[in-house]
Chain A
Amino acid sequence: MRRIGFALAAAALTLLAACGTAAPEPVAYQPPGPPRADATFNATDVMFLQMMVTHHTQGLEMVKLARTRQTSEEVAMLAGAIEVTQTTELEVMRGWLNSWGEPVSAGHDPNAHASHGGLPITGADEMAALRAATGARFQTTFLNLLIGHQHNAVEMARTETDGGANPQVKDLANRITLSRDEQIKQMLALVAA
């Protein structure tokens, strides 16, 4: 859908340029394609992408549910922006795993974090807590869950930053770290308000 809109816009731009309505500006905008990943990668890159695919999918479920409930306008805007940007990230990550011939998700091992001293909060836990929250409690519950969820994304990104090999995947991990850190700032302000 977005790609189509984008292609149309790009086409319109090209048309405009062709009509010569403007001086020969430094020519037509090149729509960016999806970032490609180099063929070199290690097990950490694969594990990180697989875990993030699962994690993103869970996050998307949360923001989609939030958009069906009563929240402040700021929260609705944030949920909407997270939805569309994480959807694109998800497509990119799946594309990379596919191009490497790797499965796009790892079975979620409930004991994966046991060595960290605590059970992780799974997508099912999050969704159950979210569905159970009603009225004014919904927004607080949603924000607290999503803040924790994004903290977990930062922790996962750190494993890639420390142990990954593929430069594009490491760039994505950096992108996720920065982005989630900023989202957490917005949400902490919203939940404290």
Chain B
Amino acid sequence: MRRLIAYPLAALGLVTASLMIGSPASAHGYVSSPPSRQALCAAGRVGDCGPIQYEPQSVEGPKGQRNCHGGLAQFAVLNDNGRNWPATSVGTAVTFSWVLTARHSTSSWEYLIGGRRIAFFSDGGRQPSATVSHQVSLAGFSGRQTLLEIWNIGDTPMAFYNCIDLQIGGGGPAPSPTAAPSPTARPTASPTARPSTGPSSRPTVRPSGPAASPSSRPTGTVPGTEWAAGTTYRTGAEVTYQGLRYRCRQSHTSIVTWEPSYYTLALWLPV
């Protein structure tokens, strides 16, 4: 009963936020890898983004712009370079991958750095396939750069805008002292480029048996620990939730809605 009440309340803010910005149906795609600014907002790696975090696929504005937010006031945060967007370290040959939620007939895909077009893919009005990725050479660029990627729609005057912050050349945060003469000028840029916050970077636990050293296991495996979101639970781990004990039946990294309930009987068995 308590759970039933909790969801609508928790969802309320979210739904309200999305209603305010209107027509969600115009949502259709963004660059997920290397992550665009809207992808960083949706992933929760950058906070306080406003409504864009719920619909990173919606940065749609008239063609021909040279900004990160498609001219949409509600997404202006994307165009704010003062937000210290984490930059992804890349080499000079990069594959850009898209998430699409609708396949518009496509005129072209443009990649620009500093107003200079570095790659252009013409689709001639074709409908893209379910996933899209492009190989782009960044030869001639180094250090921290913001790349603008534009998806020009074929049968409307609209385009989708993405800004992607990159640290080009070398894998490290400070690959070449010459390329970054004043590292202190952007303290947050590089160190946060590969943060250890996402689920992906949680220590990958030893693949073998559940009896591995208890001391190094995630907190969730300590019997009686209260269930929590964002925890990697291994098969056999025990938690308490709302006063009852449960045992994990299938390893997973928990999220809100995957707490013990009727819907998660395959994940959590009452003990």
Contacts and interface: CB of A to CB of B under 8 A. Distances in A.
Interface in B1-38: 4, 7-8, 10-11, 14-15, 18-19, 24-29, 32-35
Contacts of B15: 158, 161, 174, 177
Nearest to A176: B257
Interface string A159-190: 00110000000110011011101111110111
Interface string B156-176: 100000000000000000000
A34 interface: yes
A116 B102 contact: yes
Interface in A43-91: 72-74, 77-78, 80-81, 84-85, 87-89
Interface residues of B, number: 72
B251 A77 contact: yes
B54 A181 contact: yes
Contacts of A116: 25-26, 102
Contacts of B250: 80-81, 84
Contacts of A158: 15, 18, 24
A18 interface: no
B198 A190 contact: yes
A2 B262 CA distance: 11
A10 B100 CA distance: 44
A104 interface: no
A145 B104 CA distance: 16
B44 A190 contact: no
Interface string B254-271: 011110011111110111
- Interface centre among B10, B55, B101, by most A CB within 10 Å? B101
A42 interface: no
Nearest to B254: A81
Nearest to B264: A85
Given A117-B102, A181-B54, A186-B255, 10 more contacts: A73-B207, A81-B250, A85-B264, A85-B266, A87-B266, A125-B130, A151-B55, A171-B8, A174-B7, A189-B200
Interface of A: 2-3, 5-6, 9-10, 13, 29, 31-35, 72-74, 77-78, 80-81, 84-85, 87-89, 92, 113, 115-121, 125-126, 128-129, 133, 140-141, 143-145, 147-148, 151-152, 154-155, 158, 161-162, 170-171, 174-175, 177-179, 181-186, 188-193
Interface of B: 4, 7-8, 10-11, 14-15, 18-19, 24-29, 32-35, 39, 42-45, 54-55, 57, 88, 97-104, 127, 129-131, 133, 156, 197-202, 204-205, 207, 229, 232, 244, 250-253, 255-258, 261-267, 269-271
